[in-house]
Amino acid sequence: MEFRTLSKVLPLTLLLVIFVIQLQSTDAKIKDGDCEVCVKFLDKLLNSLEEDEKGSIGKIEKKFRKMCAKAKGKENRFCYYVGGTEDAATGIVGEMSKPASWGMPADKICEKLSKKDSQICELKYDKQIDLVNVNMKKLKVKDLKKILEGWDETCKGCAEKSDFIRKIEELMPEYAPEAAKARAQAKADL
């Protein structure tokens, strides 16, 4: 009687174990669109490495810290989480540089980093504003300021929305020339 019960329970237990293992292996993989800041930043890093730097953990970490010093916004936050900024409380740069020195792709490195700190894969870029088609008068001042911040510009003395719009339109040919041309063409067609 015990053998009969054991023979029924054993296959079910085996199936349950296989299901749990399968669930864990698929959960660890990042999905398309996840870890976008991590993947893009590490792709930039890996593509900027010279041949003599690619196998050297120390050189990869040095280049990473150099890129982090210039990073802004979400990329700076990513660097903070990994430990590439001066004020970072953690330091898992080695978890990034070792696999990078082996030639591991950015998305796989991000998978490994997300196991250490889940916040890394929660970072997403802000939605980009389509400067060609947007009616700037309908944007919030906060969004207008974001456009200027993205260009590393400020609007000193701007008190009203129209001041920010004027500053953006003044700087657009320098920072977004295609958008400036398209907007000028649209005005000329009217």
pLDDT tens by residue, the chain, 190 residues:
455 555 665 555 655 555 555 544 444 466 666 789 999 999 999 999 999 998 999 999 999 999 999 998 899 999 999 999 988 878 899 999 999 999 999 999 999 999 999 999 999 988 888 888 899 999 999 999 989 988 889 999 999 999 999 999 999 999 999 998 988 888 888 7
| C-alpha radius of gyration, the chain, whole number | 25
DSSP H helical ranges for the chain? 2-28, 36-48, 57-70, 73-82, 93-101, 106-116, 141-150, 161-175, 177-189
Phi-psi domain of 28 (left: phi exceeds 0; alpha: psi -120 through 50; beta: other)? alpha
160's CB contacts (< 8 A; 6+ apart) are: none
Report the pLDDT value the prediction gives residue 189, as an integer from 0 to 100.
80
137's CB contacts (< 8 A; 6+ apart) are: 161, 165
Report the pLDDT value the prediction gives residue 47, as an integer from 0 to 100.
94
Tokens of 124: 């997403």
How many CB atoms lie under 10 A from the CB of residue 174?
10
Report the pLDDT value the prediction gives residue 187, as an integer from 0 to 100.
81
- Rounded Cα distance between 62 and 52, Å, is 13
Q: pTM for this structure?
A: 0.66
- Rounded Cα distance between 94 and 16, Å, is 36
Asked whether 114 and 30 are in contact (CB, 8 A), the reply is: yes
Widest pairwise Cα distance in the chain: 90
Report the pLDDT value the prediction gives residue 90, as an integer from 0 to 100.
80
Q: Is residue 55 helix, strand or coil?
A: coil
